[in-house]
A = this chain, B = another copy of it.
Amino acid sequence: MDVPFILIVALIAGIISIAMALYFRFLVLKEDPGNERMQEVAGYIEEGAKTYLKVQYKILGLFVGVLAIALLFLPSPLKDSTTYTRIFEDALNWEQMVAYLIGAVGSMMAGWLGMYVGVKANTRAAQGCTISTKKGFDIAFFGGAVMGLAVVGVALIGVSTLYWIVPDPMIVLGFSFGASSVALFMKCGGGIYTKTADVGADLVGKAEYNLPEDDPRNPATIADNVGDNVGDIAGMGSDLFDSYVASIIAAMMLAATLPFLDINLSEYGRFIYTIYPVMLCAAGLLSSLIGIYIIKRTGSDEPGKALNTGTYLSTLIFAALAILFTLIMVIGLNGEETTMLWKLSACSIIGLLAGIVLGFTSDYFTRADRKPTRKMAEAAQEGHAVVILSGFSYGLLSVIPAALGIVLAMVFTYLLAEVFGVAMAAVGMLAIVGTIVSNDAYGPIVDNARAIAEQGDLGEDVIRIADRLDSAGNTAKAITKGFAIGAANLTVLALLFSYATEANDINPGTIAVMDLLNLNILIGAFIGVVVPALFSALLILAVQRNAAIMVDEIRRQFESNPKILTGEEAADFSKTIDIATKGSLKELILPSIISITVPVSVGIIFGVSALGAFLAGAILSGFVFAIMMSNAGGAWDNAKKWIEDGNLGGKGTEVHKASITGDTVGDPFKDTAGPSINTLLVVMSLTASIFLGFLMLFGNGAGLISF
């Protein structure tokens, strides 16, 4: 089989994906945006979101620019294409820098497109609810699918084109690092933004003035709606974009450099293995498209079920397509190579199944009709403190089944194809990322639609429909979140292996062992374990600080102008949006710097092996924190909603108040710190690989202090 031909398939799949995204955009935009008041509210949201993104992209431009220049001067080892070992080139590292910039710009463009359509779809979905549930669902779902398809499309086009031009995974690594830098800003910034607004709005509006959710008199309402978009559409999209590309690059780098699995490997065979991850992603993309089509067809009756059915169907279709693609790709391989490729396809399917298991775990631990959340709601009867203790404990307990899922996936895939098997499991898990992101982006659109329906006076019936769509979004979200954490975790494990093999490839023996009994290694692991804790603390404090400023501003507005509360005059939305925007961007600086400088410092001081242990420590403790915070947060949220549905006394009771405390603690857990840890881990892992050549300058990779 001809080389370009295979990459062309991936490229075409990427182009189809973008084309479909643009088509969905067209479908959404041609819908009725609703009455004047709705358009006004949607206009505020759109403007707020765009303002945020513009300022965000400016700062990002600076950050990316500085890193791009640093990359240019980094001694990056390029591959000698005949011996498949690394040599250092004296020349400036133009290729990687350009790839980095393309990755960053690609991620920004995908985020912009997704967000642009998201803020147009909300009012149209609200208007759609006046016609039928199905109409509202379709518009919201198409709106979300734009983000999902844009992510996959840009990633596939970028990876396949770059690798076609320069067939060295180090180039794709640059692309991935670009995507990651953007994801870090988008995820942390979006996470802080959305919870600043949400917590601020709740603390004053709901708790002090008894305003209902989304009440237009609350000055932070619009900021809250903007936050949903920047956090859950742009943030989550760039996060999964990041994991997606990183899983591909980890597998590609392993394929290109691994002393490979005791099989008789031809050069052509290695090439096939190197691009096999890209092909599986193309298969995943097609599965997602079919899944999206099916959701569209069946979406009318039970929106929540439809979203999840789409996910499961995409999984099945992916398995079928993976087998089909593998059947084609084995052509020209020798017997051993053929067997191994089949094993790799099995690994990818195992990975995807593990993702489903993790999704189910999150679902179980956060659903109001299951024991943990029910117990949490009952704990609210004993007051604020007991709700917190209960949620924290169940959050920790939920780590066990999730860890078991990851460990089992690792065991099986390692048995099939060693570390490369683990990397392929990550690729498999992320293959249907199009579906996952689509389902996830659906959430904020219907959430906003509900708010717009409320503010546009569409009446009780329409709001009830919008509510149903909204709760379907929440159900889907539990699953996609578990999925995202699992995928990021497997990806960073694969990146850890690829980092190690890369180091051995440059300088055999460098990282041959990461022996925990060696003090350098132990200290590296120690620092690694601590970093996710530090990172979480900084993000939560950031939300708390900003929310306090927001609270002061809301109080000031209510007190200085009593007509806001009576509804006679509009609140000053621009002020609260400004607080959320500036605050979130200011607060993400320190965490961003930490995620780059700490791994580089560990590498310089304690050496590349210690850096490997640092990554391992961070991955393991990050997993515990991410799962705990996401699931505890989700469960607190749903416990509160269950009480609001009239259980245990319902709204306004002390029990309800206690459950609100749980929800408010859970907000930055589940939407800021928890998911940001994914991005942190990917960024740190890629930083390690990117700076590897540079780190070799210090004691030939042994670091400045070596015991």
Instruction: Mark A residues whose CB is within 8 Å of B.
Output: 199, 203, 207, 379, 382-386, 388-390, 392-397, 399-400, 403, 406-407, 410-411, 414-415, 418-419, 493, 496-497, 500, 511-517, 519, 521-523, 525-527, 529-530, 533-534, 536-538, 540-541, 543-544, 547-548, 551, 612-613, 616-617, 620-621, 623-624, 628, 658, 660-665, 668, 705, 707
Given the complex, which residues of B lie within 8 Å of A660, measured CB to CB?
385
Determine the distance from Cα of A668 to Cα of B388 in the docked complex, in whole angstroms.
12
Task: Please name the residue on chain B nearest to A673 by beta carbon.
Answer: B393
The answer on a CB contact under 8 Å between B533 and A396 is yes
Q: Contact check: which of B616, B621, B664 meets A522 at CB < 8 Å?
A: B616
The main secondary structure of chain A at its interface with chain B is helix
The answer on a CB contact under 8 Å between B707 and A529 is no
The answer on a CB contact under 8 Å between A396 and B621 is no
Given A203-B382, A537-B394, decide whether A530 and B388 contact each other with a Cβ distance below 8 A. Answer: no
The answer on a CB contact under 8 Å between A544 and B386 is yes
Given the complex, which residues of B lie within 8 Å of A525, measured CB to CB?
516, 616, 620
Determine the distance from Cα of A415 to Cα of B537 in the docked complex, in whole angstroms.
33
The answer on a CB contact under 8 Å between A668 and B389 is yes
Task: Please name the residue on chain B nearest to A400 by beta carbon.
Answer: B534
Given the complex, which residues of B lie within 8 Å of A419, measured CB to CB?
517
Determine the distance from Cα of A291 to Cα of B379 in the docked complex, in whole angstroms.
47
Given A523-B410, A537-B393, decide whether A384 and B384 contact each other with a Cβ distance below 8 A. Answer: yes
Task: Please name the residue on chain B nearest to A514 by beta carbon.
Answer: B516
Given the complex, which residues of B lie within 8 Å of A493, measured CB to CB?
522
Given the complex, which residues of B lie within 8 Å of A397, measured CB to CB?
534, 537, 541
Given the complex, which residues of B lie within 8 Å of A379, measured CB to CB?
544
Determine the distance from Cα of A513 to Cα of B517 in the docked complex, in whole angstroms.
7
Q: How far is the CB of A220 from chain B (nearest CB, A)?
A: 14
Task: Please name the residue on chain B nearest to A208 by beta carbon.
Answer: B383
Task: Please name the residue on chain B nearest to A613 by beta carbon.
Answer: B516
The answer on a CB contact under 8 Å between A517 and B514 is yes
Q: How far is the CB of A604 from chain B (nearest CB, A)?
A: 16
The answer on a CB contact under 8 Å between A533 and B207 is no
The answer on a CB contact under 8 Å between A620 and B529 is yes
Determine the distance from Cα of A382 to Cα of B388 in the docked complex, in whole angstroms.
17
Most buried by B among A207, A516, A526, A527: A516
- 19 inter-chain pairs at a CB distance below 8 angstroms, sorted by A residue, are A203-B382, A203-B386, A385-B665, A386-B548, A388-B665, A389-B543, A389-B544, A389-B665, A390-B544, A392-B537, A393-B541, A396-B536, A396-B537, A407-B526, A410-B519, A496-B517, A514-B517, A516-B616, A617-B620
Determine the distance from Cα of A661 to Cα of B382 in the docked complex, in whole angstroms.
11
Q: Contact check: which of B383, B392, B621, B662 meets A620 at CB < 8 Å?
A: B621
Given the complex, which residues of B lie within 8 Å of A500, measured CB to CB?
517
The answer on a CB contact under 8 Å between B407 and A527 is yes
Q: How far is the CB of A632 from chain B (nearest CB, A)?
A: 10
The answer on a CB contact under 8 Å between A403 and B620 is no
Determine the distance from Cα of A668 to Cα of B389 in the docked complex, in whole angstroms.
9
The 10 closest A-B pairs by CB, nearest first: A385-B664, A396-B537, A514-B516, A529-B620, A513-B515, A393-B537, A384-B661, A384-B384, A396-B533, A393-B540
